[in-house]
Amino acid sequence: MKKVGKPVFFVVLILIAAFTALSFFGVSTAYGDNTHTYIKGVDDIRWGIDIRGGVDVTFTPPADYDASPEEMAAAESIIKVRMVSQNITDYETYVDDSKDRIIVRFPWKQGESDFNPEQAVKELGETALLTFREGNEYTGPVVIEGKHVTSARAVLNSQTNEPMVELNLNTEGAQLFSEATGRLVGQPISIWMDENRISSATVKTQIPNGVATISGGFDVKGAQDLAEKINAGALPFKLETENFSSISPTLGLGARDAMVTAGVIAFILVALFIILIYRMSGVVATIALVGQVAGMIACLTGFFAPFPSFTLTLPGIAGIILSIGMGVDANVITSERIKEELRNGKTLDGAIDSGFQRTFAAIFDGNITMVLVAIILMGAFGPPSSIFGTIFSPIFRWFGASATGAIYSFGYTLIVGVIFNFIMGVTASRLMLKSISKFKPFKKAWLYGGDK
């Protein structure tokens, strides 16, 4: 750090400016009606249902029924099939086996005006109608129904190691299936969930013993998914709605716009305040804060290739604002220390070095505390498949999957804010201050809080 040269300030400034522009505006090209996005910007942020409006519902079996994990997975499969049949493809489902709950969230469609959320939820929870039919059309004669299937599971062919689905039928189902497969050798039998075809297979030979296999082009996940869908049609219970809420898109977008406007105004006021009070240290702190905000936006849009885009909720926006406050706090602590060192008679270079060194421990401790809080929030209130839900599942499994995914978004923005606070508020600020203090017009101690 002692050998930081004059150009470093401009190098860091240009990097932050370029990173900010890319994070906010993205990069895309348009040819006619086709748009290709290379880097996503703020317009590509995925908004949570509390912002763009949507439905949040929790399903459970009847109170007197203890569902197995397999039955819960099958019930989730029903919901997924029905979501797609209603043209709802942007949805989230989580299964909490410990409390026999299925949490479902889906947003309003763009420009939606006549969608009935209560009716949609009712249809999602209805008992599935699974049928095996002759041919590939829903109008084909029914061979067997879901009540005839005792189980379905993904297995591997002992000879080819190919994934396939094994069906076990009850006595009545075995008789019906034997008669049908005897007549339909070389012809297809299709499988339907309600009025949605989920699979079709050609009969190779008569199946007399009630144990059948479905094969052909499956990977392991595909076989498991089909088995769960078939099991779903044999569920002995109807899903009940434990809680249900819907949010108007107008209300959500209004709250978002109000929070964003408040955040921008607060940022401008804070920037003016620290520049007036701390002069050059305040200018550098403001630049670092802009970089911190850009970093958080980048983490939401999927700017960094290994990390996918993230759904931003209203608490997530609050997390961004809180993280900015933490960044301001870190810069204020450092700037005050630099002022104190200058008034104690240290040179400008010495004051800057000492100011950052002596405040690092306090900044580090405060930020690590926030990281721990964020991890707890993400582990306790996030989906089990999330990174922290997976890593810390032994600790957080008693929470189960939560319907408060908005808190997970708060934890996420908080933790990325802390990371970029270290990158921008500590490292970049120090590089820029040490660099700009080498220019003759900016060597005056009073520009950093010292006496004139």
pLDDT in tens, 352-381: 888 888 888 888 888 888 888 888 777 666
Q: Are 62 and 202 in a shared domain? A: no
Closest residue by Cα to residue 121 from 79, 153, 92 = 79
Least confident span in 191-205, 302-316, 384-398, 399-413: 384-398
Among 215, 247, 279, give the residue marking a domain's end. Answer: 247
On whether both 268 and 347 belong to a single domain, the answer is yes
In contact, 367 and 416? CB cutoff 8 Å = no
Tokens at 301, concatenated: 């849009």
CATH of the domain at 64: 3.30.70.3400
Query: Higher-confidence residue: 116 or 59?
Result: 59
Residue 348 CB: number of other CB atoms within 10 A? 21
* Between 185 and 447, residue with greater pLDDT: 185
For residues 123 and 135, state if they share a domain: no
Q: In terms of DSSP bridges, do strands 46-47 and 311-312 run parallel, antiparallel, or are they unpaired?
A: parallel
Collect all residues with Cβ–Cβ distance below 8 Å to 269 and sequence separation of at least 6.
none
Q: Which domain holds residue 170?
A: 130-232
Could you tell me the pTM of the whole model? 0.68
Q: What is the mean pLDDT of residues 341-358?
A: 86
Q: pLDDT band for position 64 (50/70/90)?
A: confident
134 domain residue, yes or no: yes
Cα–Cα distance for residue pair 40/301, rounded to 1 Å? 6
What does the pLDDT read at residue 175?
A: 94
Same structural domain for residues 423 and 374? yes
In a domain, 23, yes or no: yes
Closest C-alpha to 288, from 304, 275, 307: 275
Q: Is residue 254 part of a domain?
A: yes
Q: Is residue 49 part of a domain?
A: no
pLDDT in tens, 220-249: 888 888 888 888 776 767 788 888 877 776
* 2 domain-assigned: no
Residue 281 structure tokens: 């240290």
Query: Residues 212, 254: one domain?
Result: no
Q: What is the mean pLDDT of residues 439-447?
A: 84
Residue count (the chain): 452
Q: Which pLDDT value is given to residue 203?
A: 92
* 100 in the same domain as 65: yes
Question: Which of 46-60, 165-179, 254-268 is predicted most confidently?
Answer: 165-179
Q: How confident is the model at residue 85 (pLDDT cuts 50, 70, 90)?
A: low
Looking at residue 165, its pLDDT comes to: 92
Asked if the model's pLDDT at residue 19 lies above 80, the reply is: yes
Q: Is residue 209 part of a domain?
A: yes
Distance, in Å, from the CA atom of 17 to the CA atom of 329, rounded to the nearest integer, reads: 22
Q: What is the C-alpha to C-alpha distance for residues 427 and 335, in angstroms, rounded to an integer?
A: 14
Q: What is the CATH number for 152?
A: 3.30.1360.200
How many domains, in total, are found in the chain? 3
Q: What are phi and psi of 126, to 5 degrees?
A: -70, 155
pLDDT at residue 289, rounded to an integer = 92
287 and 331 assigned to the same domain: yes
Is 41 in a helix, a strand, or coil?
A: coil
Which among 247, 276, 300 is the end of a domain?
247
Over residues 15-37, mean pLDDT: 84
Q: Does 116 share its domain with 23?
A: no
Q: Which residue has the higher pLDDT, 266 or 83?
A: 266
Structure tokens at 188: 């297809």
Looking at the DSSP bridge assignments, the partners of residue 131 are 145, 192
> What average pLDDT score do residues 396-420 get?
70
Mean pLDDT, the chain, integer: 82
Distance of CA 50 to the CA centre of its chain: 14
Per-residue model confidence as pLDDT tens digits over 145-162: 888 888 888 999 888 889
Last residue of a domain, one of 201, 232, 263: 232
Pairwise CA distance, residues 335 & 156, whole Å: 65
Q: Which residue has the tokens 């396939």?
A: 164
**In a shared domain, residues 14 and 38:** yes
Question: Does residue 1 lie within any of the structural domains?
Answer: no
Domain CATH for 286: 1.20.1640.10
pLDDT bucket at 402, cuts 50 / 70 / 90: very low
- First and final CA of the chain: distance in angstroms? 27
Residues 166 and 275 placed together within one structural domain of the fold:
no
Asked if the structure places residue 161 within a domain, the reply is yes
What pLDDT, on a 0 to 100 scale, did the predictor assign at position 136?
A: 92
Residues 139 and 91 grouped into a single domain? no
- Tell me: pLDDT of 404 over 60: no
The neighbouring-strand residues paired with 156 are 163
Q: Are residues 317 and 392 part of one domain?
A: yes
